[in-house]
Amino acid sequence: MSTYTFNIQKRPTVDDSTYTQYQESFDSAKEANAAMVDVSVAITLDGVTKHTITLGDSAADLTFDADLSTGDHVIRIVPQKTPTVATDVVVNSFAIGSDTCCLTTYNFNAIINGTASTVRQMLADPQAQWNNHHNNHTYVWWGEMVTVDSTYDLSGDFYRPAIVSDHAGEWKFNFTKTSDGDIWMTHYGDITSVMYDSTELHDYYFCKKPANASESLESLIANYYNDSTTVQGFHGAGSYDADLVWLDSSLDQTAEDDNRIVVFSETEYDNLLFNQWYHKNYTVTKISVT
């Protein structure tokens, strides 16, 4: 049996200096007080309530134990709907057992499907929302925001999603458990965003937080990849092999496989080189459940 834990808190109590836009402001003391009313919050698994707490002024955990069947599941975090309160609830982090969960696309096909991973998967960031070598957060950023009117439902990305309680809001995420006990999900994010890229990897599995790299991208490029005998380097937009050696000028991403990746810029190439070095020196560890 595995233990699932979500850490939550009232939005006004969040102190996040790394993301100042997240801070909540109020027009009056009355409004601020209303946003701090204690709120009952429940967590459900496949429609069954597993744990309910009264959330006070300190962060708290919603937790449950479960043996999951192979297949699809959904978890929801649901603040009280009656009586209505104005206290928004932030979903901070997700843990399985003692491991805080991150998401990654690294080696996805081999881990989840038992097939050959593409070059893009093998050179993927160690964790989604990776910052190359430092300050990599373990906050929840995936899932969907559900509202009383489903036409306003939001699909993220979210940074510590804030559930709007007085709009009967909920947060949920759908995931799949494999027969090997691995759990994975598809997350497209906001497909209406001008920054949305349909060619990116959108399938992720849960992993332990990867170790921070001992090198920055800049120092790595300067110290490791400035020797033409070590790596061929960026030859322009086109297709490269699994060792990032130039193949041809094709930009057809549909042809990507376990020996071909399309690279558009030197910046992208350098990031792929960094990830190649990282995966040779560090391990990304999946999280499995019962």
Mean pLDDT of the chain: 88
**Mean per-residue pLDDT, 35-58:** 96
Percent of the chain with pLDDT over 70: 90
Phi/psi of residue 261, nearest 5 degrees: -140, 140
pLDDT at 190: 74
Residue 226 has pLDDT above 70, yes or no: no
The whole-angstrom separation of Cα 40 and Cα 282 is: 42
pLDDT, position 287: 97
> Is the entire prediction scored with pTM above 0.85?
yes
The Cα 6–Cα 93 span in angstroms is 6
- Mean pLDDT within 185-207: 83
Which stretch of DSSP H or E encloses residue 95? strand 89-96
pLDDT, greater one: 150 or 244: 244
- What is the mean pLDDT of the segment spanning 280-288? 95
Question: Can you give the pLDDT at residue 126?
Answer: 93
Instruction: Tell me the mean pLDDT in the region 18-39.
Output: 75
Which tokens sit at 138?
């373990």
Across 29-38, 48-57, 134-143, 270-279, the highest mean pLDDT is recorded for 48-57
Pick from 70-74, 105-109, 137-141, 286-290: least confident: 137-141
| Whole-angstrom distance, CA of residue 14 vs CA of residue 160 | 10
Question: What's the DSSP call for residue 240?
Answer: E
3-state secondary structure of 275: helix
Average pLDDT over residues 21-45: 82
Structure-derived torsion over alpha carbons of residues 17, 21, 23, 25, reported in degrees to the nearest 10: 140
| pLDDT higher at 31 or 94 | 94
pLDDT (0 to 100) of residue 189: 75
pLDDT > 90 in the chain, percent: 62
What's the CA gap between 130 and 132, in Å, rounded? 6
Tokens representing 110?
A: 């081999």
pLDDT at 197 exceeding the cut of 90: no
The most confident of 27-36, 147-156, 190-199, 225-234, by mean pLDDT: 27-36
Is the pLDDT at 61 greater than 70? The verdict is yes
Lowest mean pLDDT among 198-202, 227-231, 277-281: 227-231
CA distances to 52, 77, 80, 173 from 66, rounded to whole Å, are 16, 16, 23, 16
What integer pLDDT is reported at residue 131 of this predicted model?
Answer: 67
C-alpha–C-alpha distance, residues 168 and 78, integer Å: 8
Selected residue with higher pLDDT from 270 and 95: 95
- pLDDT at residue 134 is higher than 60: no
Residue 184 reports pLDDT greater than 70: yes
Report whether pLDDT(206) > 90.
yes
Q: What is the pLDDT of residue 148?
A: 73
